[in-house]
Amino acid sequence: MATAQVPQIDMNKLNAFIGQFVGDLGASVHAGMVVIGERLGLYKALAEGPANAAELAKKTKTDERYLREWLSSQAAGGYVSYDETTNKFSLSKEQAFTLADENSPAYLPGAFQLALGSLAAVPRIIESFRSGAGVGWHEHADDVFHGCERFFRPGYAANLVTSWIPSLDGVDAKLARGASVADVGCGKGASTILLAKAYPKSRFHGFDYHSGSIEAARESARREGVADRVSFDVAKAKEFPGQDYDFVAVFDCLHDMGDPVGAAAHVRARRRRRRRAHARRDRRRDQPDARARAPGRGPRPARAARPGESQRLALTTR
C-alpha cells in the first residue's frame, strides 16, 4: 500500500507565514472593534481623560462587561493605553489625533468602516469571479459610502485648498475670481463643499451616479451654507452635462471607473480648451490586497487592488 508523500517543509518559512496570517487575522477582526468604538463614542470619551471600564460605561451609557473586553482588546492591540497602577485606560495624543478627532487629517475610523462594509460584497464578488460580470459601486453596503467619505474627507480638508490647488499654476487665482467647476465622482460632496467654502465667487457642480450619495451631498451643502453656489446631480462620468467648465476635478475615483479613458475623454469635451493640468498622488506598497472601489462610474469586473489604498488626484483646467 502506497504511503502519502509528506512534503519537506522549511519550518522557519512556515512559522513566518503563520505569523503573517495571525497578524492579518487579528487586523481583520480588530476592524470591527474600531467601528464599534467609534460609533459608541468610546474613543472620544477616552480622549477627555483616563477611565476604567465602569467609568467609561457610565459616561457613554454602555455595558461595563462589554467595555471591559473591548478596552482589553484595544490595549492589547495598541489602540488605547493602559496604566496598571490606576487600572485606567486612556488615549495618547497620537491615538486621540487619529481615533477621536474627526477633523484630523489622519482620522482612521472611516477607513475601518469602509473596509468592514466592503466585505459584505464578498458573496457578490465570488460570483463575479465565475461570471466575469462587474460589481457596481451602487451594489455595496451603505458603510462603504459613509466610510469612503469619512476616510477621504480629512485629507481633503488638510490639503485640497492649502496645498493641491495652489500647486496648479493659476488655478487658485482663477477660482478666487470666479469660475465654473465640475467635480466628477463627487460621492457625498466632501471635496465639492470644501472648494465652495474656500472660493465663494465660483460655482460648483458635483456629479455622481449613486443617487444616495447625491442626496446626502445636497443635504450637506444646505447644512454648510453653500447651497446657493453648489449643485449636485446624478450623472455618470461619461455623461455628466454642461459645457465650458473652467476646472474639472476627479478625486480618488478615476482609476476605479469601468472606463477611465472614456471618462477622461468626456471631461476634455466638457472643459474650455486651452491648457490642461494633471496632478496625481500615489501611496503604494508592493504586494496585492483587497480594496473597496473608490467612487467609480458604473459596473466593472472585480479585481485585486493595490495595498496602501492607491490615491490619485486628476485635475483638468482650461
Give 194's contacts (C-beta < 8 A, 6+ positions apart). Answer: 156, 157, 160, 161
CATH 3.40.50.150 domain position(s) in the chain: 153-317
Q: In the structure grid, which three cell numbers stand for residue 17, read together? A: 507565514
Q: Per-residue pLDDT tens for 6-42?
A: 678 899 999 999 999 999 998 888 999 999 999 999 9
**Mean pLDDT (the chain, rounded):** 85
pLDDT over 80 at 169, yes or no:
yes
Handedness of CA 288, 292, 295, 301 (dihedral sign): positive
Q: Quick one: angle between helices 11-39 and 64-76, nearest 10?
A: 140
Mean pLDDT along residues 101-106: 90
pLDDT of residue 2: 63
CATH 1.10.10.10 domain position(s) in the chain: 26-101
Q: Per-residue pLDDT tens for 231-261?
A: 999 999 999 999 889 999 999 999 888 899 9
pLDDT of residue 317: 37
pLDDT over 90 at 316, yes or no:
no
pLDDT of residue 59: 97
Distance CA 219, CA 132 (A): 37
Q: Is the model more confident about 274 or about 312?
A: 274
Mean pLDDT along residues 64-68: 97
pLDDT of residue 75: 97
pLDDT of residue 289: 33
Q: Are 195 and 209 in contact (CB under 8 A)?
A: no
Q: Are 30 and 105 in contact (CB under 8 A)?
A: no
Q: Per-residue pLDDT tens for 278-312?
A: 344 443 333 333 333 333 333 333 333 333 333 32
pLDDT of residue 48: 97
Give 67's contacts (C-beta < 8 A, 6+ positions apart). Answer: 42, 53, 56, 57, 60
Q: What's this model's pTM, rounded to 2 decimal places? A: 0.76
pLDDT of residue 18: 96
Radius of gyration of the chain (CA): 23
Question: Cell 497620537 sits at which residue?
Answer: 94
Q: Per-residue pLDDT tens for 185-203?
A: 999 999 999 999 999 999 9
**CATH annotation of 153-317:** 3.40.50.150
pLDDT of residue 1: 57
Distance CA 275, CA 281 (A): 21
Mean pLDDT along residues 163-181: 96
pLDDT band for 216, please (50, 70, 90 cuts).
Answer: very high
Mean pLDDT along residues 135-141: 89
The proportion of the chain whose per-residue pLDDT surpasses 90, expressed as a percent, equals: 73
CATH class of 26-101: mainly alpha
Q: What are phi and psi of 247, to 5 degrees?
A: -150, 130
